Structure 1
Amino acid sequence: MPHVTVEYGDGENPVYQVGGKSFVFFRNPRPDAVDPETGERYRDVIVLWVASEADKQALVQDDASPFFTTAHFDGHSSVLVRGGRVGELSLAELREVVQDAWLCRASARRAKVWLSENPPA
């Protein structure tokens, strides 16, 4: 994706930004995302922005989906996915969620240019 910069947050986790706005970042282990069997905090949670609550719900409603959310993210336009489960997504699915994350955080001008050069399939 064009105009992407990478910053590093606490714990040196990468934060991908467009125009100074995060659209994908790797989260530090937090108490709201834990393994239900062991109680250990997930160390591989990735946050991706989504365009709307409807888009978020479409990704998290299937229990078999690698996408999830927590109460901490209620009302926030993002979904979570464990890095260890990214392989369950096809390359096309992964590409789509990353592109959508970029599109909802990029400026309207940048998004329009990118979409004109990369029309949806």
Structure 2
Amino acid sequence: MVTLDEAAELARRLPETVEDERRGNRSWSVRGKAFAWERPFSKADVKRFGDAEPPAGDILAVMVADLAEKEAVLAAGRLGFFTIPHFDGYSAVLIQLQEVQPRDLEEALEDGWLSRAPQALADAYLAA
């Protein structure tokens, strides 16, 4: 289990990350491009779950490089990773913080950051 504050700390460790608010929720970006944000369910999202119980607790949306990576991340079956119809065709996954393993979240945030960081900044980070 990871708290939202712990997730925020992990995100802020990445170079040039700025924490901000997006639609009243916390978000993290690099040079103006969001790579992760708190993503509560809308009424429409909850309705789409039908009789199934929506994942509980804090949820993060985290960018991935492209739809192929999204499919690979979801296919890996890591605990806490999922998607919803609203994110169909969008290069991001959802992560249930009360279920995710800390190391998996850290890797997802780093990958999300790398997908949005300018190439020179990403290259410098990877070389360090």
**Separation of aligned partners in 1, 2:27 and 2:67:** 22
Aligned length: 113
**Structure 2 counterpart SS, 1:85:** coil
| Identity across the alignment (%) | 31
State how 1:83-94 maps to structure 2 within 5 Å: 83-86=97-100, 89-91=101-103, 93-94=104-105
Query: Following TM superposition, by how much is the alpha carbon of 1:27 offset from its aligned partner in structure 2, in angstroms?
Result: 1.2
Change beyond 3 A, Cα 1:65–1:39:
closer
**Separation of aligned partners in 2, 1:40 and 1:73:** 15
State TM-score, norm by structure 1.
Answer: 0.78
- For structure 1, the 5+ residue unaligned runs are none
**What is the one-letter code of the residue matched to 2:22?**
G
Query: Following TM superposition, by how much is the alpha carbon of 1:52 offset from its aligned partner in structure 2, in angstroms?
Result: 1.9
- For structure 2, the 5+ residue unaligned runs are 1-13
Following TM superposition, the consecutive aligned residue runs of length 4 or more in structure 1 with deviations greater than 6 angstroms are none
State TM-score, norm by structure 2.
Answer: 0.75
Question: Which residue does the alignment assign to 2:127?
Answer: 116
Q: CA RMSD in A?
A: 2.4
Question: Which residue does the alignment assign to 1:71?
Answer: 85
Query: Following TM superposition, by how much is the alpha carbon of 1:65 offset from its aligned partner in structure 2, in angstroms?
Result: 3.2
- Between 1 and 2, higher relative CO (CA 8 Å, sep ≥ 6) is seen in 2
Query: Following TM superposition, by how much is the alpha carbon of 1:73 offset from its aligned partner in structure 2, in angstroms?
Result: 0.7
State how 1:1-121 maps to structure 2 within 5 Å: 1-11=14-24, 13-30=25-42, 31-33=44-46, 42=56, 44-61=58-75, 65-86=79-100, 89-91=101-103, 93-117=104-128
